[in-house]
Amino acid sequence: MEKNLRTTTHINTRQLAVVGMLSAISIILGATGLGFIPIPPAKATIMHIPVIIGAIVEGPMVGALIGLMFGVFSVIQSVINPTPLSPIFMNPLVSVLPRVLIGIVSYYCYISIKNIPFIKKSNMVKIGITAAIGTLTNTVGVLGMMYVLYVEKYAQILHISSSAAKKGIIAIGATNGLPEITVSILITIPVVMAVKKLKK
């Protein structure tokens, strides 16, 4: 019954409050620079973590809405504070779609693995795996769209060859991926478990 309620398109007042709160946290993290944690040689982003938390706690619609707000904020930031790569991130297919998918993928990952025998007894493991998959959705989604749609433009912006641009995009994913997954797991597990205890 709970599953059916959480996957419905109806959003109640509490869920709207969660969307607003977690969206605000994600936006504040991005606007202040606090959403980036230096883990040499990379910077791990944590701006997507509120999307994962919202999806696990309140369902795919809530997660998708928080992801939408995160993605729209990325587009606005690209307009207000332009960088050489801003034209790429102004495209919603790069900035918005992957962030919406974080919430959807995270929720369905969480409910899909809960019946696996060696996982279902540990809520920490379920949350950790979901955090990792949600983070990969963000990383692969954004960089994948860049690779497919803008690798030539990326090469022109950086004044490098197309081959070097392709390798560079893949390298960014490989370099940032593990730190971001690690940080996401460390933050998401205690937050989700605390919220679930409060809801009982």
Number of neighbouring beta carbons within 10 Å of residue 89? 21
- What is the reported pLDDT for 197? 82
- What is the reported pLDDT for 91? 96
- What is the reported pLDDT for 104? 97
- What is the reported pLDDT for 9? 57
Rounded CA-CA distance 109/27 in Å is 25
- What is the reported pLDDT for 5? 43
With b for 16 or more beta-carbon neighbours within 10 A and e for fewer, the 147-156 pattern comes to beebbeebbe
Q: Which residues, in sequence order, are CB contacts of 57 under 8 Å at separation 6+?
A: 18, 192, 195, 196, 199
Look up the pTM and report it. 0.89
- What is the reported pLDDT for 1? 39
> Along the 200 residues of the chain, how does pLDDT read in single tens digits?
344 445 555 678 888 898 999 999 998 988 888 887 766 555 678 999 999 999 999 999 999 999 999 999 999 988 998 888 899 999 999 999 999 999 999 999 999 887 787 776 788 999 999 999 999 999 999 999 999 999 999 999 999 999 999 999 999 898 888 889 999 999 999 999 998 888 76
Q: Which domains does the chain have, with CATH numbers?
A: 2-199 (1.10.1760.20)
- What is the reported pLDDT for 42? 54
- What is the reported pLDDT for 141? 96
